[in-house]
Structure 1
């Protein structure tokens, strides 16, 4: 996967291959990120390569159930810049379902979104191929503070404010 930011750094040694089409062939040795339907029908223990899943904006992450504890990576697809449903899925995975593995944003991922994506739990970003990942990385530093509670900072700013000295 090209143009990848992971743990606040641009990486080039990622072996995961995103399988977009259910009919797309992949070998048992490859590390693959499968569409949800393909993943649910697969037998990851029969493969020598690692297996992960990607969720579309209309998927319910709760269908992964007990598989969440064995998944090293979940990718969430952003088919368009204006489609924000992936933010909700990420937050559900982190806060309600307790997912601890890598959470990767894929699809139409741009610099302007990275800070917000990090706040809901993403720690990896597959930036669009026509953009520079090194420049997009700076998007993680666009805002120094968040007013509302987030996955990264659950206590809202109002409750973190220090009382004025009288």
Structure 2
């Protein structure tokens, strides 16, 4: 498992294993000794089995509708959003919806094709942790996370734009 970067730019051990979607006819098998991230629709379909388990979280693909988690969002210790390509920006919208519309308060993680120049934008959209693409330098990325002390626009981290903050 690769390490992750947290919201403050600290590198920490990743405790979560991403479980791939089972092939047709196969069933989902969870590791017994690790925390597991399973596809969100499978968690919703079998929520009685998974609800309340602190070692089971979900992941959403960029084409998944986050509304499927609306009434269960805060029952999950971790939601990960997959970025299949760095140019696919749907994950940013998913993060904002989870935070602002569905009130998700627990850890939100970016996974997949995550690059260091995206981290600041991901943070502003509500992500708490970042699993970089394996070929990228995690130390360099961690240092770059907090390059900017202020954002101009309102986002999940502040609902007041800079010009209004300056005026007050």
Q: TM-score range by the shorter chain?
A: 0.7 to 0.9
1:11 is matched with 12
2-side partners of 1:37 and 1:29: how far apart?
A: 23
Using the TM superposition, name which of 107-116 and 21-30 deviates more. 21-30
C-alpha change, 1:46 and 1:69, in structure 2 (3 Å) is closer
Give TM-score, length-normalised by structure 2.
0.87
Alpha-carbon deviation of 1:67?
1.4
How many residue pairs match? The answer is 161
1:102 is matched with 107
Pairs within 5 Å for 1:31-50 = 31-42=35-46, 43-45=49-51, 50=55
Unaligned runs of 5+ in 2: none
Give TM-score, length-normalised by structure 1.
0.88
1:115 is matched with 120
Contact 2:44/2:68 (8 A) holds in 1: no
Alpha-carbon deviation of 1:138?
1.8
1-side partners of 2:83 and 2:112: how far apart?
A: 5
Unaligned runs of 5+ in 1: none
2:58 is matched with 53
Contact 1:111/1:138 (8 A) holds in 2: no
Contact 2:86/2:113 (8 A) holds in 1: yes
1:71 is matched with 76
Offset from partner CA, 1:11-43 (integer Å, 9 cap, x none): 02x321011232464334531100123222332
2-side partners of 1:61 and 1:54: how far apart?
A: 10
Using the TM superposition, name which of 151-160 and 99-108 deviates more. 151-160
Using the TM superposition, name which of 120-129 and 20-29 deviates more. 20-29
2-side partners of 1:64 and 1:45: how far apart?
A: 12
